[in-house]
């Protein structure tokens, strides 16, 4: 089973602490999610293969590197939208796909309501983003959508996971790399990550 990478960095911890705080309002929550996504993305693709190229500066030719394989972003709606800007800050030319899933709060099963993927997605490596990996059902359903579309190389980037959700994702989809900001204690009786940060979608976009 591949081990998830839990990014251990003082800036991640500091942003996370504010994110968890119940008094953090949506505008600040969005900015923290954006910062954290950039920090996790930086670590997620640290070892991605590159190819040497030449680049012409205003003065001379210099050595450069480009990524061997394009990285595209797929966001699990709705809370994954909060991670989009942080991703595009680092990779502004990436194509972006959306998978709409809403967890049924009684059965805890994800229900699909939308899907739009870039036409070239199968030839790219995909960063699948969702802040929360709780039971794991939504992430697994999204991976299955990507597999059906022909994607072979998937990295799941999440802010927070439960041990139960991580175990399920690892055992059903061992080929998916997992990058996280933190791994919490457990799921609670309502299927929330504990101590967690509450409902990520509501905290990002507000409920009133």
Residues in contact with ligand PRP by CB under 6 A are 76, 78-79, 101-103, 108, 110, 130-139, 165, 191, 200-201
Q: How far apart are the first and last CA of the chain?
A: 42
The enclosing H or E element of 10 equals helix 10-20
Asked if residue 181 lies in contact with residue 6, where contact means CB atoms within 8 angstroms, the answer is yes
* 199 classed as catalytic: yes
Nearer to ligand PRP, 91 or 198 (CB): 198
CA-based nearest residue to 40, from 72, 102, 87: 87
Q: Which of 8, 50, 107, 188 is catalytic?
A: 107
Backbone phi and psi for residue 12, each to the nearest 5 degrees, phi listed first: -65, -45
Q: Which of 121, 134, 145, 146 binds ligand URA (CB under 6 A)?
A: 134
* 24 classed as catalytic: no
Size of the site for ligand URA (CB under 6 A): 9
How far is 14 from 29, CA to CA, in rounded Å? Answer: 13
**Of ligand URA, ligand PRP, none, which one does residue 180 interact with (CB within 5 to 8 Å by kind)?**
none
Give the footprint of ligand URA on this chain (CB under 6 A): 79, 132, 134, 192-193, 196, 199-201
């Amino acid at each position: 089973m591949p081990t998830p990478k839990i990014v251990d960095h003082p800036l991640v911890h500091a942003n996370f602490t504010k994110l968890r705080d119940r008094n953090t309002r949506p505008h600040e929550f969005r900015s923290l999610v954006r910062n954290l996504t950039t920090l996790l993305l930086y670590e997620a693709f640290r070892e991605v293969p590159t190819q040497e190229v030449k680049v012409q500066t205003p003065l001379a030719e210099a050595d450069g590197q480009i990524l061997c394989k394009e990285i595209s972003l797929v966001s699990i709606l709705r809370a994954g939208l909060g991670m989009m800007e942080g991703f595009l800050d680092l990779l502004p030319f990436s194509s972006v796909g959306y998978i709409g899933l809403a967890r049924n709060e009684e059965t805890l099963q994800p229900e699909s309501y939308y899907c739009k993927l870039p036409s070239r997605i199968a030839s790219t490596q995909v960063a699948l983003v969702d802040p929360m990996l709780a039971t794991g059902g939504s992430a697994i359903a999204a991976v299955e959508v990507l597999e059906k579309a022909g994607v072979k190389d998937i990295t799941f980037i999440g802010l927070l996971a439960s041990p139960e959700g991580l175990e399920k994702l690892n055992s059903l989809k061992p080929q998916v790399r997992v990058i996280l900001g933190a791994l919490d204690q457990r799921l609670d009786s309502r299927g929330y990550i504990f101590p967690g940060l509450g409902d990520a979608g509501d905290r990002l976009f507000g409920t009133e």
